[in-house]
Amino acid sequence: MNKKKVLIIDDDSRNIFALKATLKSKSYDCISCTGAAEALELLRTNEPVDAILIDMMMPEMDGYEAIPLIKNIESRRNTPVYAVTAQAMVGDREKCLKAGADDYISKPINVDRLLQVLKDI
């Protein structure tokens, strides 16, 4: 069985480190980008990615702006994009879904919730 590859997009290297450590311990391959523009460049290549975790609050281009751009890449239309954010207020989940996210995970990350979201990729 091939390992599933997850792209982590987050401007905070500590979050990338924690997510990578968690996912690698569960047999996922991980790659990361520290900004949405870098991620869009990578996603326009043929780099295989089974799912994307994107921080919604980043400088320059946030997840709300990046998700529709990701979904507009022909080869990425069906790649699940999961919003990851510390914004856990009423209405935030709906705002993420409206931007095109397939699901929403709040910080601090609940590992069981993360794995539940990723189980079908």
Say which CATH number the domain at 33 has. Answer: 3.40.50.2300
The answer to whether residue 41 scores a pLDDT higher than 70 is yes
Residues spanned by the domain of 47: 5-118
- Phi/psi at 78 (nearest 5 deg)? -100, 5
Which residue in the block uniquely carries the two structure tokens 């914004």? 87
pTM as predicted: 0.95
Q: How confident is the model at residue 61 (pLDDT cuts 50, 70, 90)?
A: very high
DSSP track, 12-65: -HHHHHHHHHHHHHTT-EEEEESSHHHHHHHHTTT---SEEEEES--SSS-HHH
How many separate domains does the chain show? 1
Q: pLDDT of 2-36, one tens digit each?
A: 789 999 999 999 999 999 999 999 999 999 999 99
User: Which pLDDT value is given to residue 107?
Assistant: 87
Looking at beta carbons, which pairs linking 63-68 to residues 24 or more positions away fall under 8 Å? 63/9, 63/36, 63/96, 63/99, 63/101, 64/95, 64/96, 64/99, 65/36, 66/9, 66/36, 66/39, 66/40, 67/99, 67/100, 67/101, 68/99, 68/100
Q: What integer is the mean pLDDT of 55-84?
A: 95
